[in-house]
Amino acid sequence: MMIETERLYMRELTQADYGALCKILQDEETMYAYEGAFSDVEVQEWLERQMARYHQWGFGLWAVILKETGEMIGQCGLTMQPWKGEEVLEIGYLFQRSCWHNGYALEASKACKKYAFEVLDADTVCSIIRDTNTASQKVAVRTGMAVVDHSIKYYRGVSMPHDRYAVTRG
């Protein structure tokens, strides 16, 4: 499975992506919405969770590869996430800090939205974003989403307000 855009392609993560994933998940600033960087064990668990999602649903967070260099610069994809007692289809994205402000998250997110509607035949897709994560909020809005709901998530002992941005097929 591969999704291609003008500057990027997305494919399933493999164990060989562990080092590139560490560059993202172990960066303190990149991971501020998660209350800090991940340990080696947490990165491995994250990777294994994505690979399990591919087997369970046929999708998950995918490696985002910059066509120009062949480098993995981030991850973006679709996951099923719990939200107020139900499972919702979510577009998620995390990129290396050095690649921020280049439009890569928006480009990848739009491709995932198209995949959700055209391949998975989804009616709605969303992004669940911490209320302090303004960069991700801007990507969601530019992907065509609007805030539809609010909730509190508890992670690493912290209460975190989150907004659920969503768009329906139209």
Residue 158 has pLDDT above 80, yes or no: no
In the chain, what percentage of residues exceed pLDDT 70? 99
Instruction: Note whether 76 and 10 are within 8 A (CB).
Output: yes
Going from the C-alpha of 19 to that of each of 10, 51, 126, the distances in angstroms are 17, 16, 29
pLDDT at res. 154: 78
Note the pTM of the prediction, 2 decimals: 0.93
Please state whether 18 falls in left (phi above 0), alpha (psi between -120 and 50) or beta.
alpha
Can you tell me the distance from the alpha carbon of 105 to that of 95, in angstroms, rounded to the nearest whole number? Answer: 7
- Is residue 160 very low, low, confident or very high in pLDDT (cuts 50, 70, 90)? confident
pLDDT at res. 106: 97
- Is residue 159 very low, low, confident or very high in pLDDT (cuts 50, 70, 90)? confident
Residue 155 has pLDDT above 90, yes or no: no
Residue 9 has pLDDT above 80, yes or no: yes
Q: Which of 69, 76, 59 is nearest to 21 (CA)?
A: 76
Residue 42 has pLDDT above 90, yes or no: yes
Q: List, for residues 46-101, the tens digit of each pLDDT value.
A: 999 999 999 999 999 999 999 999 999 999 999 999 999 999 999 999 999 999 99
pLDDT at res. 1: 63
Higher-confidence residue: 141 or 30?
141
Higher-confidence residue: 77 or 32?
77
Q: DSSP label at 157?
A: T
Instruction: Note whether 43 and 29 are within 8 A (CB).
Output: no
Q: List, for residues 110-154, the tens digit of each pLDDT value.
A: 999 999 999 999 999 999 999 999 999 999 999 999 999 999 887
Residue 170 has pLDDT above 80, yes or no: no
